[in-house]
A and B are shown apart, each in its own frame.
Chain A
Amino acid sequence: MRGPQDYGGLPAGPVDPVTHEHEPTHWEKTVDALMMLVFDQKRQLARVDESRRMQEALGEDYHKFPYYERWLQAVTWLMLEKGVFSQEELEAKQAEVRARLEAERNGA
């Protein structure tokens, strides 16, 4: 069975490198840096293989996420699986961040 990530040889469209080229945004660089640190030798927290497995577990949803959002989703699940933080902690933090971002958008 072909995993959703197994793209080699499938029908596809133009590579269009001019459109799909941009300086990585600050947000993307931050996600990238976070990923590299989480998987590094120092922390021994998780292997990048595990995050690949998590991304593949998205199934058909693999195709819907842009690259960094897919990584972020996978790493979140991985951290939950490993007990680095709990679902409750994550939800509480998300509520806190949401409120802060909304205040910034309204108050600023």
Chain B
Amino acid sequence: MEPKYKPGDKVRILQRNQPGHVRTPIYVRGKTGVIERIVGSFPNPELLAYGHTGLPYKMLYRVNFRQSDLWDDYDGPVDDTLEIEIYEHWLAPA
């Protein structure tokens, strides 16, 4: 399985209106960050949560955000960042 993104790529987190178990918190949806690393492929937790095998595997990435891009009222230096793991189907090129 080939990763769609590589470290350094700018990506936007999709605003998927997906009910049920997801591991993409609301605070990063719609935000733009940069791929920090490709973590690897894993069974999809959105399916595992309902007792399914979680296949096919999904590619997982770590995405880096500037805190000032995540929060309008971020009270700290512009260099402060946040990193979080996002599955490929939640990403689009930015």
The reply to whether A49 and B49 contact each other, CB–CB distance below 8 Å, is: yes
The reply to whether A52 and B49 contact each other, CB–CB distance below 8 Å, is: yes
The reply to whether B51 and A8 contact each other, CB–CB distance below 8 Å, is: no
- Choose the segment among B6-14, B19-27, B33-41 that binds chain A (4+ C-beta atoms closer than 8 Å): B19-27
Residues of A in contact, count (CB < 8 Å): 14
A-B contact count (CB 8 A): 35
A100 lies within 8 A of chain B by Cβ: no
Residues of B within 8 A of A14 (CB): none
With the chains together, A22 CA to B51 CA distance in Å? 34
With the chains together, A3 CA to B49 CA distance in Å? 14
The reply to whether B26 and A53 contact each other, CB–CB distance below 8 Å, is: no
With the chains together, A46 CA to B27 CA distance in Å? 29
Residues of A within 8 A of B30 (CB): none
Residue of B nearest to A55 (CB): B21
Q: Among B19, B45, B49, B54, which residue has its beta carbon within 8 angstroms of that of A1?
A: B19
Residue of B nearest to A9 (CB): B27
The reply to whether A50 and B49 contact each other, CB–CB distance below 8 Å, is: yes
A32 lies within 8 A of chain B by Cβ: no
The reply to whether A1 and B50 contact each other, CB–CB distance below 8 Å, is: no
Residues of B within 8 A of A52 (CB): 21, 49
Known: A1-B19, A6-B25, A9-B70. 6 other contacts (CB 8 A): A8-B26, A8-B27, A47-B49, A49-B45, A49-B49, A50-B51
